[in-house]
């Protein structure tokens, strides 16, 4: 029988430390050519949209798909996890929290390999759905001493800073502008739904690493062209998906040295084939979010649920 796992099951069974391990492993599987990823597809209707993406991890005998709907009222995420050999449905997971955790973990991996080892300060632009897990992951891979956060809503910004200060046990303070947050950070994170740039290249100090995670449609953009022009190393999760939906890169392509030839997949960095070469370089990870990450962390949550007796069993396809 399959398991149904709730958002609370995911939160209880997927600590960020394990998510970081799982996501770093997916990059290694990508580099070995032992992972299969299919880019996101979208269906748009007047009042809603459907989004779906799939992947396979043969090393763990897993196949899976994330599928979600977006309306004005809600975003509803599910992951369907299958046994690759038998085709059996292993689990259906509610996947809002799962998505936030895996996206944060991917930025954590990028920060581990691309940021300067002495990076101590984060400038965060955005205090919404994804911002919390971005900070949680980065705090596990960098010796942070301070964070400044900017978002347009002052009340949300203040509440976010209080909550994350307590969680991370370091000073998370509000910034009065995106520029203030960016100039503060050795690591700068953009986690917004902006359609126009919220980060400008002339705000970045030499040696800064940027994680841009908010814009995953061609019509959206968080980074201006000077960010791309100043970055000496630009990495993405997959080039295929970046070409289809990384609005930051598509709209700013002329500013990137050598165009798409100047963009690498992050697995090359994790494998050691590309790296930061000086303390003054500006580096960038442009994340779109890929199905490999969903399948990898869903597989971990499923195994932990089986061991702990978590989840609700249900029958499908006439199972006895």
Helix, strand, coil shares of the chain as percentages rounded to 5? Answer: 40, 25, 30
Angle between helices 154-168 and 131-141 (to 10 degrees): 30
Distance CA 76, CA 53 (A): 14
55 within 8 A of 269, measured Cβ to Cβ: no
Which segments within 224-294 are labelled E, that is strand? 231-236, 263-265, 282-286
For the chain, domain boundaries? 2-99+292-314, 116-289
CA neighbor of 223 nearest in space, from 245, 253, 256, 190:
190
Where b means 16+ CB within 10 Å and e means fewer, 206-231 reads: ebbbbbbbbbbbeebbbbbbbbbebb
- 169 CB-side CA count, 13 A: 2
Of 3.30.70.1290, 3.30.1780.10, 3.40.50.620, 3.40.50.2000, which CATH number belongs to 2-99+292-314? Answer: 3.30.1780.10
**HSE on the CB side for 32, CA within 13 Å?**
11
Q: Could you give the residue numbers annotated as active site?
A: 66
Q: What is the pLDDT of residue 310?
A: 97
How many other CB atoms are there within 10 angstroms of residue 305's CB atom?
21
pTM: 0.96
Maximum pairwise Cα distance, the chain: 64
**What is the token pair recorded at 29?**
């599987």
pLDDT value of residue 319? 80
Encode the chain (320 residues) as per-residue pLDDT tens digits: 999 999 999 999 999 999 999 999 999 999 999 999 999 999 999 999 999 999 999 999 999 999 999 999 999 999 999 999 999 999 999 999 999 999 999 999 999 999 999 999 999 999 998 999 999 999 999 999 999 999 999 999 999 999 999 999 999 999 999 999 999 999 999 999 999 999 999 999 999 999 999 988 999 999 999 999 999 999 999 999 999 999 999 999 999 999 999 999 999 999 999 999 999 999 999 999 999 999 999 999 999 999 999 999 999 988 87
For 116-289, the fitting CATH number among 3.40.50.720, 3.20.20.70, 2.70.150.10, 3.40.50.10490 is 3.40.50.720
């Amino acid at each position: 029988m399959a398991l149904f796992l709730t958002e609370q099951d995911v939160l209880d069974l997927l600590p960020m430390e394990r998510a970081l391990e799982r996501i770093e492993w997916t990059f290694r599987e990508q580099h070995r050519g032992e992972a299969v990823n299919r880019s996101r597809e979208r269906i748009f209707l007047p009042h809603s949209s459907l989004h779906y993406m799939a992947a396979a991890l043969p090393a763990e005998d897993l196949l899976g798909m994330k599928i979600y709907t977006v309306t004005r009222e809600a975003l509803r995420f599910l992951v369907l996890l299958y046994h690759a050999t038998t085709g059996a449905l292993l689990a259906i997971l509610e996947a809002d929290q799962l998505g936030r955790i895996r996206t944060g973990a991917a930025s954590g991996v990028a920060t581990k390999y691309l940021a300067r080892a002495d990076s101590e300060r984060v400038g965060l632009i955005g205090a919404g759905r994804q911002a919390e897990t971005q900070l949680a992951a980065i705090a596990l891979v960098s010796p942070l001493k301070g964070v400044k956060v900017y978002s347009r809503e002052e009340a949300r910004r203040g509440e976010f800073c209080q909550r994350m200060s307590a969680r991370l046990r370091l000073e998370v303070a509000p910034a009065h502008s995106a520029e203030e947050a960016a100039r503060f950070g050795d690591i700068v994170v953009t986690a917004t739904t902006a359609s126009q740039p919220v980060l400008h290249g002339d705000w970045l100090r030499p040696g800064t690493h940027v994680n841009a995670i908010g814009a995953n449609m061609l019509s959206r953009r968080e980074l201006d062209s000077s960010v791309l022009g100043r970055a000496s190393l630009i990495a993405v999760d997959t080039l295929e998906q970046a070409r289809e939906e990384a609005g930051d890169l598509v709209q700013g392509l002329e500013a990137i040295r050598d165009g798409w030839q100047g963009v690498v997949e992050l697995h090359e960095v994790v494998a050691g084939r590309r790296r930061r070469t000086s303390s003054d370089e500006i580096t960038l990870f442009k994340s779109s979010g890929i199905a490999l990450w969903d399948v990898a962390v869903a597989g971990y949550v499923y195994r932990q649920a089986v061991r702990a007796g978590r989840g609700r069993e249900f029958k499908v396809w006439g199972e006895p």
